[in-house]
Structure 1
Amino acid sequence: MAQTHSTHAPAWTLPARHPRALTIQLGLLLAAAWALPAAIHALALPVRQLLPMHWPAILAGLVYGWRSGAIIGAASPVLSYLMTGMPRPAVLPSMTFELAAYGAIAGFMVQVLHRGRFEAALASVIGGRLVFLAVMVVTGAITTAFPVYLQAAMLPGLPAAIAQVVLLPLLANAWVKRERGNSKLDI
């Protein structure tokens, strides 16, 4: 059943203007974007394979829309850098734009284009990685041959990216359903 754009149709994302969303839920997503990489580093797990900072940025976009997704995405690497020194300064600009793109693309696809959350997560993962590469190229941060860099930078995180596309839409749908009290939303 196709959803209409009338005022009676279920909301595709949650409003980020509500005090609970601003203070608790978005704050928790930002905290998760800092805490997950810190925990992964502390446990000596492979950060580049798990992509822990990416998950909250995409989830913020899927749940709260493009503005909140972009803000959580852009703020996450900067906050992490200020608190832990990670990510490295050489990749901080690229990660800031990449994570902002993840959140913005996911949110735009769901909130504005009314696309399903799986499609939005897939577009977000692809778009964010392209933004990362573009910023790395523009800033001259790539010091090896591009094909070698592409393989080293993109392949390790591929399983995590696939997991993001599969799991985050399910989590976002459950989150929105719980907050809205709706029994059915498109994912």
Structure 2
Amino acid sequence: MNPTEIQERLGQRLGASLECGGAGADAFVIVPAERWLEAARALREGEGLDFDYLRSLTAVDRPAEGKIDVAAHLFSYKRRHALTLKTRLDRAAPRIASLGAVWPAAHWHERELWEMFGVAIENHPDLRHLLLPEDWPGHPLRKDYAMPERYQGIPTRRPAPLAEPAAGTGPTNTGPKNPPEAP
């Protein structure tokens, strides 16, 4: 099934006109946030669709538009086709339904989505930090995120490894010295 047919079938199943684009493995469909879970179920269970694999779940912060775009990258091993399911959330209060009932592995992806972008996941059984400490401030993948200078008294920044050292802080030559030039 080609991407256009997949997009049309999903639109029919949801009874809505959907924004679609891309081609081949880059094909995508954008659904309203309130239809996110319904669209995911349709793609997993729909006749001829069979999207049985959630490759990844991620987001893009768009502060100029006041939105966060969420994307679920899907694949069907049975049908050998791919699609990206997208939605747009209000950046001030991003909230979306959990896909864990459709793809259980989504729970891990959703924890990272919440931790890094601040997207609240409704009906998630264990929404807590995945990579960062529980008391870490803010959401690091938001474009307006300001990295704290210190965390629990520990500096969070290091000098760039390839930066030029400040004058007088470079290596000191302690090896053998060449004799002065003979006259």
Q: Would you say same fold, with TM above 0.5? A: no
TM-score with structure 2 setting the length:
0.26
**Which structure would you say has the larger Rg?**
2
Larger RCO (CA under 8 A, 6+ residues apart): 1
Q: Greater strand share, 1 or 2? A: 2
